[in-house]
Each structure stands twice: as C-alpha cells, then as structure tokens.
Amino acid sequence: MPGPRWLFVTVSAFVISLALLVRAARRLIRVWWPEPFATVALAPPGAGSDAIEAAIELAAPGVVAITAEGRRATRDFAGLSIELAAARTGEPVPVRRKRLAVTTSGVSRVRMKLWTAEIPAAGSYTVSVHGLRPERSYAESRLLFIPDLAVLGRILAVVALGIACVGSLVASGLLAFASRTSG
C-alpha cells in the first residue's frame, strides 16, 4: 500500500514538471516570434528596375534566417530573390532558399522563413531584393534577419513536460484516493 511518502514524491514531481513546462513554453514562444537582428522595409523599385538595395548591420556571425513578414494572405513575396554582400569588400554571402517555407502567424501578420545565410563576421552588409513589382505598395511588408533556431526540440520538450505534468497529477490523485479508501 503506497504511503504518504509516495504522495510527496508525485506532488513534488508535479510542481517541478509544471515549473519546467512554463519555462519551456516561454522559451518556445521567444523562438517562435523572435526579435529581428535587422529589418529591410520593402518598397516599389525605381523606374526601369525590379530591385532595391538596403544597408544592414549584423552584430554577430552565425546562421540567420531571412524571413518575410507581411499581412496574412499577402502575395508580396512571390518571386522575390535576394543577394547579400559584405558592405566593405563587396564579397557575396551565399543565401540558400529554404525548401519548405516555415510559417508562423499572429493575429494579423505572418512570417515566412524563406532563406538562410551563414554570416561570416559581424559588420555592415548590403541586401539586394530582386523581383519587386512597381505597381505593388509593399507598405506592410518587410524582410527580417532573425536567429535561425531549431524549434522541433523545444516543441518536443513542451509535449514531454506536459505529459509528465499530467501524469504526476493523475498519480497524485490516485495515491490520495487510495490512501483515503484504505485508511
């Protein structure tokens, strides 16, 4: 017959798993909608051109996700391509198109992770956006340079901690019920 010692263990497991679940959920939310390192506002190109250029500053080397942000159901990003180069040397930075665009959405805005780039060093970079159409407004569309973080592991952590939290709560309830009926 399980005693109060096991009830203490299951209640402690519930409190610990609940605290870890809240922490993991907060980390997942931060990764899901991160603050950008740099932002490029899209605008219609000048006459006779389909491109704009912008200067950005990136504070640290590493992999960045180049994410398009705009209104829900926007077609502003269809057909766009980008080039990235070091501002001082003009050395191009390879930009890879994502095979599957990862999309996250808020109430009125959507973010689509379309490209990634390996930034070799902190510093100034020039971004060229090609494929823009002069007849479009692009007023609510922009490109964000955000950290490229894996989300799957954090989702699995939230699921596992949720299962542990519910399991320890059920075990505590069963032990409390068993101790009442036996005593």
Residue 110 phi/psi, 5° resolution? -135, 145
DSSP letter for 45, please. Answer: P
The CATH class that applies to domain 40-148 reads mainly beta
Per-residue pLDDT of the chain (183 residues; tens, 9 = 90+): 566 788 788 888 889 999 988 988 887 776 666 677 788 888 888 878 888 999 999 888 888 888 888 888 888 888 889 999 999 999 999 999 887 777 777 778 888 888 999 999 999 999 999 999 888 888 889 998 988 766 667 788 889 999 999 999 898 888 888 877 776
- Supply the Cα-derived Rg of the chain in whole angstroms: 24
Cα separation of 25 and 118, whole Å?
A: 28
DSSP β-bridge partners for residue 65: 116, 146
Which long-range contacts (C-beta less than 8 Å, at least 24 apart) are formed by 132-135?
132/42, 132/43, 132/44, 132/45, 132/50, 132/51, 132/52, 132/80, 133/44, 133/50, 134/44, 134/45, 134/47, 135/44
Domain boundaries, the chain: 4-28+155-182, 40-148
Query: Which ranges of the chain would DSSP assign to H, the alpha helix?
Result: 4-32, 152-182
pLDDT value at position 37? 79
**What pLDDT was estimated at residue 25?**
85
Task: Give the tokens for residue 102.
Answer: 């990862």
